[in-house]
Amino acid sequence: MKMKSNLDEMQEQELLKIEHNGCWLAFWLLLLSMVVQSIVFGAASFKTLAGEWIVFMILALYLAFACARKGIWDRKIPMTNKSNLIISLIAALLFGFFSAVMIFKNYQKPAGTMLAAAITTVITFVLCFAALTLTMKHTEKRKALMEAEPADADEL
């Protein structure tokens, strides 16, 4: 059952902006919360972060799949392999740094920490680039499908 909205068009747009900002605020603060808990408070086990991690992943996957399904990539970042390389590199370096901090905190071995962080960085880069490339191809197909003229439009 669909209820009638009490908002005019301008209020609807403002509400969408508020909800949009709230969603992204929750997303980034949840990620920051998990990072802080892991580094500062030493909550390294999955049990201590399970709730936040599950909510974060559900939100991240929902946003990714919903946008790809609608043929939307990003508002500002172009849908190119170069963009995928840059995003993957940034994600890999950030995760590699986070891994280095966590590994060094636990073992205090600089050489082992650097090697483990390098391996983590490379694996993260490869997985992130592959995921972005596959998602980009799917999004391109969905966008082309949605922009295509319907077959019976020619008959009218």
User: Residues of the chain with pLDDT > 90: what percent?
Assistant: 44
Question: Between the CA of residue 19 and those of 43, 70, 80, 129, what are the distances in Å?
Answer: 31, 19, 28, 29
For the stretch 141-151, pLDDT in tens is 988 888 886 76
Buried b (16+ CB within 10 A) or exposed e, 60-91: eeeeeeeebeebebeeeeebeeeebeeebeeb
For the stretch 115-137, pLDDT in tens is 999 999 999 999 999 999 999 99
Question: Between the CA of residue 133 and those of 10, 73, 129, what are the distances in Å?
Answer: 37, 11, 6
- The residue ranking higher by pLDDT, 92 or 48, is 92
